[in-house]
A and B are shown apart, each in its own frame.
Chain A
Amino acid sequence: MSDLTRLTAAETATGIASGAFSAVEVTEAHLARIEAVDEKVHAFLHVDREGALAAARAVDAKRERGERLGPLAGVPLALKDIFTTEGMPTTAGSKILEGWVPPYDATVTRRLREADVVILGKTNMDEFAMGSSTENSAYGPTGNPWDLTRIPGGSGGGSSASLASFQAPLAIGTDTGGSIRQPAAVTGTVGVKPTYGGVSRYGMVAFSSSLDQAGPCARTVLDAALLHSVIAGHDPMDSTSVDQPVPDVVAAAREGDVRGMRVGVVKEFRGEGYQSGVMQRFDESVALLRELGAEVVEVSCPSFTKALAAYYLIAPSECSSNLARFDAMRYGMRIGDDGTRSAEDVTAITREAGFGDEVKRRVMLGTYALSSGYYDAYYGSAQKVRTLITRDFARAFESVDVLVSPTTPTTAFPIGERADDPMAMYLADLCTIPSNLAGNAAMSLPSGLSPEDGLPVGLQIIAPAMADDRLYRVGAAVEAALQARWGHPLIEEAPSL
């Protein structure tokens, strides 16, 4: 059966549970697909063939013994290389961690294994999740399956590309400023940044602790919901993890109904810098929501215009501290240790060689922003802006149930186009960053292809903290209506490679 890779995760799990095909067959089909196309796409940094097959065999054995299988048992998954995996390399896209094999599993990794999800391997990413194109990976860029000369988004470009090229039906990403949603938007897939604290950060290599959030990536809203419910929930190992029941995202995705809901269109997210085809698809989505029975109103969130500036003070500040541990002493790369140099020198030489330019840029920015005498003007002010943004959201959610916007102002840009222009690169996250600063939940799902370049456009849905289920309720309704209009899922229009 050669088309096992074209199934959704839900279909795959049902097929395995019913005995229509085995987990091993599913895994082998995906491994073969990786073998066939990943040389071109470069979604994976590491493929764990043996581990994946062993996990699949365990699922088949369970089924043979008549044990109950979980909702995603036997479904293959591509894991962003930022989660620790016992016995499997974890690089976070950086040379400085080359060859490091963690002695422990991240909570997300553990929950996936416990749910019998088959981890195929680790996916490419911008170094330490810093970037919007995956070009900042120390291991080379990833191609966008829609057009291999274009970026697949970032930082989680490997995860989004693996989905769009049918190398995996599920993937995990992390979203600090849009690293799940923007790649989903530019690859025509679904990505969700859950409420901050909704999914444990334990074992996730930290970029900016107060913003980082792990979440599900898939080709359908329901698949994302199934994965969401597997990885979410309180974790005593993460003090910032929310100790509340996980919203019933699967039920919401199955319902998919916007009748009677109030939807707010964020006024600030349009204008200069927004591609006209992107806005065209966005306006159609808004019209569709009306048709489906939602009440649509315009809302203003004036502080959102300052979100990017605040983000580029807070994230670098936290990263300058989080990345200090890469000092060549305990793990990862060590160079210059020839017996004549001091530990300080070896640390400096290793960091110089082991970090890429973008990482160094942010470490320097953050070190400066936290310095005594500058702290109040930079880090302190940014935290105030963060409070204002949170208030803007709170005010908006007094009158609407969800907010919508384009996920990213443009479609996928060519690899190399913004590599030397960090400010242009940073603009890719203009619409996604406010939700990281405020800690609420947001989703990106396909809203069609931009007419001028035929590339996917993403619709962003934003919900209040711990109301993640609303994303799925609205997302599933929009997805169903759009697919009815197109006659098939958008992803089927992607080149077959």
Chain B
Amino acid sequence: MTVTELVSYEDALASYDPVMGLEVHVELGTRTKMFCGCSTGLGADANSQTCPTCLGLPGSLPVVNATGVESAIRIGLALNCDIAEWCRFARKNYFYPDMPKNFQTSQYDEPIAYDGYLDVQLEDGEVFRVAIERAHMEEDTGKSTHVGGATGRIQGASHSLLDYNRAGIPLIEIVTRPITGAGARAPEVAKAYVAELRELIKALGVSEARMEMGQMRCDVNLSLRPHGREKFGTRSETKNVNSLRSVERAARFEIQRHAAVLDGGGTIVQETRHFHEEDGSTTSGRVKEEAEDYRYFPEPDLVPVAPSREWVEELRAALPELPRLRRNRLREEWGISPFEMQSVLNAGAVGLIVATTDAGAPADQARKWWMGELARRANEHGTELADLPITPEQVARLCALVAEGSLNDKLARQAIEGVLAGEGGPDDVVAKRGLKVVSDEGALGAAVDAAIAENAPIADKIRGGKVAAAGALVGAVMKSTRGQADAARVRELILERLGVEG
């Protein structure tokens, strides 16, 4: 791998203005493929989910998946697009072994959705409008596995294996117009756009949009132009950038690389580039010596798609609240800062907190547990918050037990540990582990007396007016009661015994 010269990000931005185009492919979560009845389930044996149509056998024909069209329209509507009254599929012709027909059934100059926008919110709350050129329907290709090479790439491989289970899975390709005016914030905008789009797709329920599973894939096209120039520079196309962080890193790297090339008097070649997760760099893939000619023409095996206006309006009326608006509403309801909201979002906790409040917990308590103890646990186990074996209802129950004074925070944490360990619900764990706050005044009084006796110097300080020192005695009592006391009541008792006003 050649070492790429870079200029510093600040220097690059001092001279140039980045222009980005983002192309995102989303695999729809339909039960069957786009043009046949094969299952789209993941993890099946290679080539077990295929039929004459998705294998492109001679004589086979496609039939459009109506749910795929519906999903495309809903995505288009959520992106504020116009929905075509009449549009066709087109064949994109090129040879590649993982494409069974050697053409991809896609859409060309008649996309189902066009001319929209998506407002994305950056971490400081600034809203940036990204214009959407089009969203169109197409089918995924099969998957090639190159065997025997050093890097899993085709170069140097001894042979390749083909799995057509993915061939024909519905894809929606969403293409932005050139994103200008983002300046130094371009990489951040790119990341925020993809993040927002992912939230939107999930809210619509049309795909799980899990980037690590390839259900959502992003190509980052980037060019630089000197400040003040209208004309765009030559772009590079970084393919398959498959995490939010990578989108940001790839854009940043390309800005620095382009700037280095341009500063050195060189020219950018229009080419495909590969992104490397390890170091955030990109390397050259295929150079496009001449523009590829896909010889598009209308797909004669399919009839045009003509969604009625009534249906489109029905779909529009049934759209869920859009993620950004929902987040802003929740943020106000919860009374937290944009920054705090961003953390909640990053942790994937918005839905969990909402479900917990729906189950009766106050929002601040719900947020405290999900973003505190539970986030820590998830991090320890290396899992997503949503994958922890505890339900929002159980968290709501814990909040209730704390609120009624049956548990204190420390005991609640032990209860969580029990739930996560599979010991049952919060009440089961509390009962089995005996996690009740000690509220027997007699027993508590004895523990307080013992603590005062054992810590006479501290007790004297408190008597002398240093109320703050009471904490040490509270700690001693909590320790002797193994945490099962109400700390506030313990403090009251200590001050009472020592004759000091709290």
Contact = CB atoms under 8 A, between A and B. Distances in A.
B103 A239 contact: no
Contacts of B55: 330
Nearest to A367: B295
B59 A205 contact: yes
B61 A239 contact: yes
Interface in A334-381: 343-344, 347, 367, 370-372, 375, 379
A321 B302 CA distance: 15
Interface stretch (A66-74, A98-106, A445-453): A98-106
Contacts of B103: 321, 324
A379 B297 contact: yes
B152 interface: no
B297 A83 contact: no
A193 B60 CA distance: 21
B63 interface: yes
B102 interface: yes
B297 A317 contact: yes
B297 A202 contact: no
Contacts of B52: 84, 102-104, 203
Interface in B49-86: 52, 55-64
A90 interface: yes
Contact of B57 (A83, A321, A324, A331): A331
A239 B300 contact: no
Nearest to B47: A330
A301 interface: no
B69 to A, nearest CB: 13
Interface string B229-264: 000000000000000000000000000000000000
A208 B100 CA distance: 18
Interface in B81-102: 91, 93, 95, 97, 100-102
Nearest to A318: B300
Contacts of A238: 61, 63
Contacts of B300: 208-210, 240, 318
Contacts of A370: 93, 295-297
A239 B89 CA distance: 13
Interface in A315-329: 317-318, 320-321, 324-325, 327, 329
Contacts of A209: 300-301
Interface residues of B, number: 30
A92 interface: yes
Contacts of B58: 84, 90, 92, 97, 100, 102, 205-206, 325, 331
B295 A321 contact: yes
How many A residues touch the partner, as a band?
A: 35 or more
B56 A330 contact: yes
Interface in A33-80: none
B315 interface: no
A95 to B, nearest CB: 14
B310 interface: no
A225 to B, nearest CB: 26
A201 interface: yes
B408 to A, nearest CB: 65
A421 to B, nearest CB: 29
Contact of B59 (A203, A375, A379): A203
Interface string A178-210: 000000000000000000000001111110111
A14 B306 CA distance: 48
Contact of B301 (A102, A240, A320, A375): A240
A319 to B, nearest CB: 11
A436 to B, nearest CB: 13
B293 A324 contact: no
Interface in B165-206: none
Contacts of B61: 201-202, 237-239
A90 to B, nearest CB: 7
A102 B62 CA distance: 17
A149 to B, nearest CB: 33
B292 to A, nearest CB: 9
Interface of A is mostly: loop
B160 interface: yes
A236 interface: yes
Given A103-B52, A318-B300, A236 B59 contact: no
B421 interface: no
A375 B297 contact: yes
A317 B301 CA distance: 14
A45 B214 CA distance: 47
A97 B303 CA distance: 29
Given A239-B301, A379-B297, A321 B91 contact: yes
Interface string B200-232: 000000000000000000000000000000000
Contact of A343 (B93, B160, B293): B160
A379 B52 CA distance: 29
B56 A236 contact: no
Contacts of A97: 58
A493 B60 CA distance: 41
Nearest to B101: A325
A88 B320 CA distance: 53
B14 interface: no
Contacts of A103: 52, 57
Interface in B138-160: 160
Nearest to B53: A237
B443 interface: no
B450 interface: no
A137 B91 CA distance: 28
A324 B101 contact: yes
Contact of A329 (B60, B91, B162, B297): B162
A214 to B, nearest CB: 11
Contacts of B297: 317-318, 321, 370, 375, 379
A325 B293 CA distance: 18
Nearest to A351: B95
A238 B297 CA distance: 19
A146 B102 CA distance: 43
B142 to A, nearest CB: 10
Contacts of A325: 56, 58, 100-102
A325 B61 CA distance: 13
B93 A324 contact: yes
B59 A239 contact: no
Scoring B52, B59, B97, B296 by chain A CB atoms within 10 A of each residue's CB, the highest score goes to: B59
Contact of A327 (B102, B293, B295): B102
B295 A371 contact: yes
Nearest to B303: A239
A372 B295 contact: yes
Given A321-B103, A324-B101, A371-B293, A240 B95 contact: no
Given A236-B63, A240-B300, A240-B302, 11 more contacts: A84-B58, A102-B58, A202-B61, A204-B59, A318-B300, A321-B91, A324-B102, A324-B103, A325-B101, A329-B162, A330-B100
User: What 5 A-B pairs have minimum CB-CB distances, sorted nearest first?
Assistant: A324-B102, A370-B295, A209-B300, A210-B300, A203-B59
15 contacts: A83-B59, A84-B57, A103-B52, A104-B52, A206-B59, A206-B301, A238-B61, A239-B303, A318-B297, A321-B103, A324-B101, A325-B101, A330-B56, A347-B95, A372-B293
